[in-house]
A and B are shown apart, each in its own frame.
Chain A
Amino acid sequence: MTTTLNNATLNNATLNGAALKETPKPIAGTASYLDDRLGAGSFLKRNLRKVFPDHWSFLLGEIALYSFIILLLTGTFLTFWFKPGMGHVVYDGPYQQLRGVTMSEAYASTLKISFEVRGGLLMRQMHHWAALLFVAGMMVHMLRVFFTGAYRKPRELNWIIGVLLLTLALAEGLTGYSLPDDLLSGAGLRITEGVAISLPLIGTYLTFFLFGGEYPGEDVIARFYSLHILLIPGILLALISAHMILMWVQKHTQMPGTGRSNTNVVGAPFYPAFMLKAGAYFLFTFTAIAGLGTFAQINPIWLFGPYTPSDISAGSQPDFYMGFLEGALRIMPAWEINFLGYTLPLSVLIPALVPMGIVMTGLALYPFLEQWVTGDRREHHIADRPRNNPHRTSIGISAVTFYGILWLLGANDEISAFFHIDLYHTTIFGRFAIILGPALAYAITYRICMGLQRKDADVMSHGVESGVIKRMPNGQYIEVHVPPAEDIADHLRGKALIPIVPGEADSEGIPPKGARSILGKARAMMSKKYGTEHIPLEEDGHGHGHAALGPGEGDHKEVH
């Protein structure tokens, strides 16, 4: 610390025109005072030079991080005026269309924030847009980590923390948008109650516990408030810190390329280059959120009106991240089981629990399942390109399709109303698409990955088109191919083989130890499928000469 300061001061500061020979006492004194007591000098020295690899997709997680910071700040502002009470008041504020209407304190105070508190509406809108960007940022970050295999050892636990963060973010969102006690969020609360009460055995007790009696009761807003501003953000903050520390300690993965290996990190040091970029990216995030908050109206609760359990509006939707649950509920057939006077409402239970269970459990388990299938216990610090692990990419796109179809059908009434499609047709489409869509997505993605691998292999073995057309002595025209640029070639060479667990029977027809049981056989089969290399990269041995070869030697590939 001291040395850095010394240099900086020596270079920049002048006193009476003469260069300083030593650090001015106020700076040196303060620095060494702090260093002696905090030991910060050596810590900073070590960590400020931390190297971060550069790729645009590595910044996606920061969208969520910076949105979270903006959420904390705008949220604190909102707590100054929000009253989390369900006591009845008669509105007499400046919004004409609700004057004289009875409403809860929570709703009235949200109206006050929107129309009377200076900057209140902007803060509310920024808070809500930041929440949407927070979850969207987490989702794209998670997809990036998944498709590049960055969750592999040693980062599995950080991946689990990420899954927890996403789950908590959904809960944080639900408790947050319920707080204004408006008619739209009330519909969401009603579904929450419906899900809780449909749970077998404990449903009724759980509902009465949550709502403090019959729905909606007088307690739920205050309880959600405690969860929303204290408990869940506290856990989020702790987990985000853990997420960052682990990332820092384990170092960031990097894309394959020149000079990059599994044992180094190539990139820019944290100070100053990466810090500058991160700072700039925070400002961009802030720009996006402030811009949306200024120009695009979000959650206009005054249009929705106060919550009354008897009222419901057409087009009641949750925020986007809950859309997949809404869609599941909408396409679910009305099944229920009546047994000994007890009802098991499958039409609520299945859509509420199964898609969420598939998505979240699948995410949490994937690193471990993959490890089990491939038998790969090595550390990985080089990211996979999605095409180079086609089965993983196909599984991912399959899951995205499953989620996406449910999400789309959460808006089926708006789709029906605005595109004039029969509502029931959208439902029936959804019931088929939710089964067929992921399978189709798997097949298509796999083909695309193979095609891209073939393209890579082609670039490596034949080079890239140079744009030069050459006429051969025999009259044939060919396009001259040149070898790819070295950095591109290194990027392509980053393709790593996926290990396969042994499963082949030996010469006496006895399979290896692990592959004798049914499970073992299944594992060996899956491993073979998952890891088999179909399109190996072959470097072109004869280089430039290849293009000038005569006809009859693979030249059909070069004439386009």
Chain B
Amino acid sequence: MIGTGISVNSITARRRHPLARLAVVALALGLLGGGYALFAPSNSADAAIASGKADDVAEGKSLFVAHCSSCHGMNAEGTPMGPPLVGVGAAAVDFQVSSGRMPAANPGPQMQRKPLGEWVTPEAINQLSAYIMSLGGGPQRPSAEMVDPAKGDAAKGGELFRANCIQCHNFVGAGGALTYGKYAPNLNESTPEQIYEAMVTGPQAMPVFNDSTITPEDKRNMIAYIVQMRELKDPGGFGLGRIGPVTEGLVVWIAGLSFMSLTAIWITAKKRKK
């Protein structure tokens, strides 16, 4: 205040005005709310409420309490058993629940893909997503167009796939081992949407590839590559799991050498003299 030319006394006096506290609170709330409305993703919980999906949030909460709260806490605040889910977004909910990884069957190094429970319907996932979004936003689920393999450039996606994914997921997404019992799963069962969501949310041991690391368009290219590779018919015969020389070695020893030994025994066999 010194050197600004404004009387210190007058500010102090205004601060002590009976309505000053109210004004400051109003200003702060206004800035926060207004700022949030300006910068937050447009279709957040507010939007859900505005478009008449408030019920989804309530339904989602009851689903959450029934199926998720024992590990993640009654308000998704997290417990020693499971992380807080505030801010993980609809993408994480859809990835984990639609792949059967959540609700978890049993705690282990890593949650595994498994058949879906009876209550897991697209509608239930939407409701859970709405509830989680209402808690603190987070990455959204991609639109159908964003993950349409037909719209991607597979060759370009392949280069990105080799640079970013294969060190864990193998050349063609056949999966691979990680440390401490964790593993990078086989990508053959993942839907394009799940692949996208895994990239933006980084589930379990996987790092996050957000939009500044890999643009949504490049993500679609990668999805195109993954999908085309798993649909690619092996031109050379049986693919042997597409995991490289390990199965080739097994085949040459088990099939190749057994065949050679059996034929050797056959052509040197003699009738025993009685």
A residues engaging B (CB < 8 A)?
54-60, 63, 96-101, 114-115, 121, 125, 128-129, 132-133, 136-137, 140, 183-184, 277, 280-281, 284-285, 287-288, 292, 294-300, 303-305, 308, 310-320, 323, 411-414, 416-417, 420-424, 485, 487
Contact = CB atoms under 8 A, between A and B. Distances in A.
B206 interface: no
Nearest to B257: A136
Given A296-B240, A315-B246, A487-B272, A288 B235 contact: no
B232 interface: yes
Contacts of A295: 237-238
Given A56-B261, A281-B267, A417 B181 contact: no
B259 interface: yes
Given A296-B240, A305-B159, A424-B180, 8 more contacts: A277-B268, A292-B252, A304-B171, A305-B158, A308-B163, A310-B163, A413-B176, A420-B183
Contact of A183 (B171, B243, B263, B269): B171
Contacts of A58: 268
Interface of B: 109, 154-156, 158-159, 162-163, 166-172, 174-181, 183-184, 225, 228-229, 232, 234-240, 242-246, 248-249, 251-253, 255-257, 259-261, 263-265, 267-270, 272-273
A57 to B, nearest CB: 7
A258 to B, nearest CB: 10
B252 A121 contact: no
B181 A420 contact: yes
A315 B176 contact: yes
Contacts of B180: 422-424
A297 B181 CA distance: 30
A314 B168 contact: yes
B245 A317 contact: yes
A297 B252 contact: no
A314 B249 contact: no
B243 A292 contact: no
A265 B252 CA distance: 34
Given A100-B156, A277-B268, A411 B246 contact: yes
Contact of B176 (A98, A114, A288, A417): A417
A298 B235 contact: no
A56 B264 contact: yes
A100 B155 contact: yes
7 contacts: A128-B248, A129-B256, A137-B260, A296-B248, A315-B171, A315-B174, A320-B245
Contact of B171 (A296, A298, A313): A313
Contacts of B243: 315, 414
